[in-house]
Amino acid sequence: MERVNKLLTVGLTLSLVPAILVGMFVPFALAQPTADSFGVEHHASGYKNTTVSVPVTIVNTQNGPITCIIFDISYDNSVISVVDVKEGTITNSWNTPAYCNFEWGTKLSIAYTGEDETALQNGSSGSIMVLKFRVVGEAGEKTDMSLNNIQLSDLSGENVGFDTAPAKNATFTVLTNLTQIPSSTYSPSSAESPLPILSPSSAPTATSAATQSPPGFNAIFAIVCSLAVAYLVMRRRKAQP
C-alpha cells in the first residue's frame, strides 16, 4: 500500500511539472513588448542622384513602455542606400539613432534617454525613425524594403519582444523622368526630395532573402543596446530619492 501511495505521489508531481513550467514562462511571453504593426507604411520613389526620406512607423504599442528598438531593413543597395537617419515624430526626444550599412541593407537602433516620460507608452503610434536614402539606381529600377529582426525592449530592459510586431514592407522605385513629379515640392535643381512619393497601393509581400550579418554581429548589436538601456535605468533609479 505504501508503495502505491509513493507511486501516486510521484505521478501527481510529474503531472504538475508542465503546469508549473507553463505558469512560470507564459507571463514572460505575454509581457513581451509588441505592436499592431511596424515598418514602412507606403511605397516610395525618387530620381537618381537625389535623397528621399522614408519614415518607419509603429502602430499601437503594447506591453510597454518601450525604451529601445532594433531592426533590420533589407534592400538592393545598387538602387538605394541609407546615408542618414533621424528620430521620428514620437522619438524626437530620444538619443540619436545608430545605423550600420551592409551588402544586404542596414541595421538600426534607437534608445530613449533614461527619462520615463519619453518612453513610448502603451497605445503609441507614429514614426520612430526617418531613413534618408540616396538614390543610386537607374530609371525604372525597383527594390523591396523589407523589415525583419525587429526587437522591442521595455522599461526594465529585461523583456524583449523578438519579431512580436508584424512587419510592413514596401517598394522603392527609381523614377524615369521629371514629368512624373506628383508633388509641387520637388525642384529639379535640388539635390534632395524632402518627402517620399507615396503610392496608395498596398505594401507587397517581402521577397528579399534573409539578411545576413557577420557572425555574432546581431548579438553584439543587441547587447550594446541592452547595456545602454540598463545603464539609463540604473542612472534613473539612483537619481530617485
pLDDT by residue (tens digit) across 127-183?
999 999 999 999 999 999 999 999 999 988 777 888 889 999 999 999 987 655 533
DSSP 185: T
b/e burial code for range 84-117 (CB count within 10 A of at least 16 → b): ebbbbebbeebbebbbeeeebbbbbbbbbebeee
Instruction: Locate 167 and state its grid cell.
Output: 512587419
Residues 6, 70: Cα–Cα separation, whole Å? 52
Instruction: Locate 180 and state its grid cell.
Output: 512624373
* pLDDT tops 70 at residue 90: yes
What ranges in the chain are assigned the alpha helix state H?
Answer: 2-30, 217-239
Q: What pLDDT is recorded for position 105?
A: 97
Q: Give the model's confidence band at 43: pLDDT under 50 very low, under 70 low, under 90 confident, else very high.
A: very high
* pLDDT tops 60 at residue 189: no
Residues 78, 211: Cα–Cα separation, whole Å? 16
List all residues 6 or more positions away from 78 whose beta carbon is below 8 Å from its beta carbon.
136, 137, 141
List all residues 6 or more positions away from 76 whose beta carbon is below 8 Å from its beta carbon.
137, 141, 143, 144
Residues 109, 207: Cα–Cα separation, whole Å? 23
Residues 109, 179: Cα–Cα separation, whole Å? 37
More reliable by pLDDT, 113 or 23: 113
> Which range among 16-20, 37-41, 49-53, 65-69 shows the weakest confidence by mean pLDDT?
16-20
Q: Give the model's confidence band at 229: pLDDT under 50 very low, under 70 low, under 90 confident, else very high.
A: low
* Residue 142 β-bridge partners: 173
Domains of the chain: 32-239 (2.60.40.680)
Report yes or no: 81 and 136 within 8 Å, Cβ to Cβ: yes
Dihedral of CA 97/98/102/104: which sign? negative
Residues 105, 145: Cα–Cα separation, whole Å? 9
Q: In terms of Cα–Cα distance, which of 59, 66, 57 is closest to 31?
A: 66
Residues 4, 82: Cα–Cα separation, whole Å? 70
Q: What pLDDT is recorded for position 108?
A: 97
Q: Give the model's confidence band at 31: pLDDT under 50 very low, under 70 low, under 90 confident, else very high.
A: confident
